[in-house]
Amino acid sequence: MKCTIKDIAKEAGVSITTVSLVLNNKPCRVAVQTRENIIKISKRLHYKPNSTAKALVTKKTQTLGLIIPDISNPFFSELAKGVEMEAQKNNYHIIFCNSNQNGKKDLTNLELLISKQIDGLIISTSLNNSDTKYINQFNRLIFENELPVVAVDRKIPNKNYDTVSLDHREGGFLATMHLLELGHRKIGCITGPTDSDSANERYKGYIDALSLYDVPHDKSLVYHGDYQINSGIEGCEELIKKGVSAIFACNDMMACGAIRQARLMDKIIGKDISIIGFDNISICEILDQPLTTIHQPVYEMGKNACELIITLINEPRSKNQLIKFLPTLIKRATTNTYIED
Amino acid sequence: MKCTIKDIAKEAGVSITTVSLVLNNKPCRVAVQTRENIIKISKRLHYKPNSTAKALVTKKTQTLGLIIPDISNPFFSELAKGVEMEAQKNNYHIIFCNSNQNGKKDLTNLELLISKQIDGLIISTSLNNSDTKYINQFNRLIFENELPVVAVDRKIPNKNYDTVSLDHREGGFLATMHLLELGHRKIGCITGPTDSDSANERYKGYIDALSLYDVPHDKSLVYHGDYQINSGIEGCEELIKKGVSAIFACNDMMACGAIRQARLMDKIIGKDISIIGFDNISICEILDQPLTTIHQPVYEMGKNACELIITLINEPRSKNQLIKFLPTLIKRATTNTYIED
DNA sequence: GTGAAAGCGCTAACAG
DNA sequence: CTGTTAGCGCTTTCAC
């Protein structure tokens, strides 16, 4: 039932070498007739080469590892899609591992993937700057095994691998500029968690834009959130009390919370108050008042990371790349021109 | 740098057999001292067994294939998470493939996965009943390679593999019963696409509930949608005109559309009209008026599918299983007691 | 207690 | 144009 290269060789009355040569389209002069015969037989027998055996000798598994914090997070599932689609196109397979925001798991997953002889790794790490012990072990493993690595979204501490990420600062800038251009001057900001680099960058972009418009940076208009819906609600309440006419929420979840709260306070969104989010999660469009937000080209980032790792595999000495994608503004219904009251 | 069993053997001054024995904890009498020495050396050298080589001899790769239509769909990413978490627990890895709703890709993906010697397959197929040619090839491949298979959510046409799915009919029933119990009698239904089994089942559940309450099934109160937001909008408009006091939308996307439309028509949701969805996608909670809906335990389904495939791998003769998960009602803010006007 | 040797399915020199 | 042979890294009988 299961047939190997041997069975075909026997059936065709040739050596396994010849079969291997033919089936791999090697530039080798095999008589057209033998060639066709071998192909015919391999089809009849439904021959499927054993990639495990092949990998053992070629040292190439055509398999990539993908380590992410959580596949059920829309950001990462979209990323995974981009990676996988590109991989499929290039005859690679993806083994994915959830690390569950647990830095230690990044390490154990890496060990297992190395055991599996992956050709390259794409990782959005869960390692924190404080996990020194794991970080060192992680980097040593990569080094010892000469494993090509591409970091996505978050860089690996203490080491500069090729990286694909988003320019979060530019995103924060874009969002705030949009509000400024609409005439708003008293603009509140609900930030993300302070230990997140990307959240901090978004916040920096907000400051950048304000200073470009010579708007003094009033720290009392900054509410420190945690990317969860509740901090959107609480932040919004506080900021409205302080009289802001617009709010930049550093992610869409918090923007949703802000909308909810603003309505509760009888504000009409897009009139009494403008709200802009960040991420462009799918829900933004579905809302009965679609959310203005900053879009991250996540799919493209995944695709790109995959392209990059494949290049790295084929040209190990290619120079280190640091690709930053640019976010874009998606204007929808929650932001509008400032009207003095 | 990369070290094999041989290196350890040489270093320890023993044969590779002994090393293999020790490192695999084989019930073999190896002197405690040699044993400890081998373990120490393998640690020092950071030995990582080559699973490719191991697989070649054991015929087990500890790898599972996961074929799904689209990882970026929240349903499937949640499913994938359940599968992967359980796999990790059992020392299996997951190779995932998107088929992009393309039945033919199910086939090519399967071929590649077989080449990779996966131990088992979990699949939510994109094959339609009409793809006879591919279906037959698909089923033949599985059979010839004696590959353990678990179908999730959607069954593979023409063949009864072990299956993990949701009782969609019960879900439709639950949703409609909820509305009936609230006193509604003129209940509209926005269905899913007619070629989707699960959509049809949900609709059947709606009919079941109506008949239980002796409410005649008025076909004019059924709007045939396609699971997209727009059919929710259009369906809602039509149904409101027909004077329904409640709507069962067969998925949450359409329910969102319905809410949008109802508001546009100046109806107060939960008062003038009750709306219930299906799926419990994450957005339901975030909405400023959280959606009442039917929850599918997707994560558990993934976990279960993984458990099932592992059982199947270990006990190939275990009897065919057909696991149906039960949906649950999540009461939130969009449904309420019927008030006569 | 430990080792020699065969072999998993395949590729790749090297011969002929 | 085709076959012989060695070997990838590991497990597993069987012998010592």
Q: What is the pLDDT of residues A85-129, one digit of tens each?
A: 999 999 999 999 999 999 999 999 999 999 999 999 999 999 988
> CATH code at A186?
3.40.50.2300
Q: In this structure, are A305 and A157 located in the same domain?
A: yes
Q: Assess whether pLDDT exceeds 80 at residue B60.
A: yes
Q: Is A46 in contact with B144 (Cβ distance < 8 A)?
A: yes
Answer yes or no: is pLDDT of A27 > 90.
Answer: no
- Percent of chain A scoring above 90 in pLDDT: 81
| A123-149 pLDDT, tens digit each | 999 998 899 999 999 999 999 999 999
Of B residues 52-91, those with CB within 7 angstroms of nucleic strand D are: 53-54, 56-58
Domain count within chain A: 3
pLDDT value for B300: 97
Q: Is A247 helix (H, G, I), strand (E, B) or coil?
A: strand
On whether any CB of chain B is under 8 Å from the CB of A104, the answer is: no
Q: For residue A336, is it within any domain?
A: no
Per-residue pLDDT at A232 exceeds 90 = yes
- How far is residue A99's CA from residue B28's CA, in Å, rounded to a whole number? 36
What is the reported pLDDT for A28?
Answer: 66
Same domain, A42 and A76: no
Is the residue at A140 inside a domain? yes
Does residue B333 fall inside a structural domain? no
Q: Could you read off the pLDDT of A305-341 as tens digits, one per residue? A: 999 999 999 998 778 899 999 999 999 999 999 988 6
Is beta strand B246-249 parallel, antiparallel or unpaired with respect to B274-276?
Answer: parallel
Cα separation, A49 vs A34, whole angstroms: 19
| Confidence band for B67, pLDDT divided at 50, 70 and 90 | very high
Residue A340 lies in a domain: no
Torsion sign across C-alpha atoms A135, A138, A143, A148 = negative
Q: Are residues A201 and A245 in the same domain?
A: yes
CB B132 within 8 A of CB B155: no
Residues of chain A with C-beta less than 8 angstroms from the C-beta of B48: 111, 114-115, 145
As a rounded value in angstroms, the CA-to-C1' distance for B59 and C3 is 25
Co-location of A92 and A232 in the same domain: no
Q: At B42, is the pLDDT very low, low, confident or very high (cuts 50, 70, 90)? A: very high
pLDDT for residue B325: 97
Domain assignment present for B335: no
- Could you report the per-residue pLDDT of A292-308, keeping only the tens digit for each? 999 999 999 999 999 99
Question: Nearest Cα to A72, choosing from B295, B75, B67, B88?
Answer: B75
A70 within some domain: yes
Residue B336 placed within a domain: no
A54 belongs to a structural domain: no
pLDDT band with cut points at 50, 70 and 90 for residue A24: confident
Out of B296, B314, B335, a domain closes at B296
A204 and A246: one domain? yes
Strand order in the sheet with A63-68: A322-325, A162-166, A149-152, A120-123, A63-68, A93-98, B93-98, B63-68, B120-123, B149-152, B162-166, B322-325
Select from B49, B61, B81 the Cβ nearest to the Cβ of A98.
Answer: B81
CA distance B172 to B249: 9
Those of residues 275-294 in B touching chain A at CB distance below 8 A are 282-283, 285-288
**A178 & A124 share domain:** no
A219 shares a domain with A139: no
Instruction: Name the residue in chain A with its Cα closest to that of B254.
Output: A286
Closest Cα of chain B to A214: distance in Å? Answer: 35
**What would the pLDDT profile of B235-268 be if each residue is shown by its tens digit?**
999 999 999 999 999 999 999 999 999 999 999 9
Mark whether A73 and A16 lie in a shared domain.
Answer: no
Whether A1 has a pLDDT exceeding 70, the answer reads: no
Residue B78 sits at the chain A interface (C-beta within 8 Å):
yes
Q: Is the pLDDT of residue B30 over 90?
A: no
- A230 in contact with nucleic chain C (CB within 7 A): no
Say which nucleotide is closest to residue A29, CA to C1' distance. D1
| pLDDT in the model for residue B1 | 67
Does A211 contact strand C, using a CB cutoff of 7 Å? Answer: no
Can you give the distance from the CA of residue A107 to the C1' of nucleotide D11 in angstroms? 27
| pTM for this prediction | 0.93
Chain B (204-223) residues lying within 8 Å, Cβ to Cβ, of chain A: none
Say whether both B280 and B173 belong to one domain. yes
A32 and A64 within one domain: no
* Mean pLDDT confidence for B259-279: 95
Rounded CA-CA distance A123/A135 in Å is 13
Give yes or no for residue B29 having a pLDDT over 80. Answer: no
pLDDT above 90 (res B317): no
* Average pLDDT, integer, range B5-18: 90
Assess whether pLDDT exceeds 90 at residue B195: no
The pLDDT mean for chain A works out to 94
Which bases of strand C have any atom within 7 Å of the beta carbon of a protein residue? 1-5, 7-13
Q: Are residues B41 and B183 in the same domain?
A: no
The stretch B141-150 carries a mean pLDDT of 95
Whether B136 and B230 share a structural domain: no
Residue ranges making up the domain that contains A186: 168-296
What CATH number is given to the structural domain containing A9?
1.10.260.40
